[in-house]
Amino acid sequence: EGWNSGNSRNGSYFRQVKTQFGPIKVQVPRDRKGEFHQHTLPAYGQRTDTLESTVIQLYSHGVTTREISDLIEKMYGSYYSAGTVSNISKQFASQVENYHQRQLNDKFFCVYLDATYIPLRRDTYQREAVYVAVGIKPNGHKEIIDYRIAPVENIGIWGEMISNFKERGL
């Protein structure tokens, strides 16, 4: 359709995209009028959602950004700097915030409250308390109601968590 319309013979350019199958070179046609829209890749995107979701899953399981960078390079042949991994993981922060603020409408037969210490790297590498509330539904299914991380375990944080549960409908 573009033949002799002023929008033909525009050439093309190549873009490299990082995928779970390794780097792929994609040829994208040029368009003077801006009518061509590519649906396979987002504009200016250099990696697929599959790799980003892999990074988010690894990060959510406590794998460090440097370890994720090394794993992605070994598994998929794409180099991600620790900064790139960190930027991708920031997308996950909004999902975590939504999880901590969601309404709690379920009924629980029993609620267990416990804390455990795990090593975390912030300014230094030290063990911090992870407070976990697990609810058991009448049908026997377990669900993590919420969690919180603090330097040490104390009654004040448990009180805040329980008050927060009540405000959210539990």
pLDDT digits (tens, 9 = 90+) for 108-153: 889 999 998 887 766 667 788 889 999 999 998 998 899 888 888 8
Q: Are residues 49 and 116 in the same domain?
A: no
Residue 105: per-residue pLDDT? 82
What b/e string do you get for 102-133 counting C-beta neighbours within 10 Å, with b at 16 or more?
Answer: eebeeebeeeeeebeeeeeeeeeeeebbbbbb
For residue 6, tell me if it sits in a domain: no
Q: Which of 16-30, 114-128, 153-167 has the highest mean pLDDT?
A: 153-167
Closest CA to 69 of 49, 27, 78, 61: 78
Reported confidence tier of residue 40, pLDDT bands at 50, 70, 90? low
Q: What is the pLDDT of residues 56-82, one digit of tens each?
A: 777 766 677 788 778 777 776 767 777
Q: What is the pTM (predicted TM-score) of this model?
A: 0.52
Domain span at 94: 12-100
Q: Give a yes or no: residue 91 inside a domain.
A: yes
Mean pLDDT across 157-162: 91
Query: Could you tell me if 85 and 135 lie in one domain?
Result: no
Say whether pLDDT at 28 is over 70.
Answer: yes
Q: Say if residue 50 is in the same domain as residue 124.
A: no
* Rounded average pLDDT over 87-98: 76
Quickly state the pLDDT bin for 167 (edges 50, 70, 90).
Answer: very high
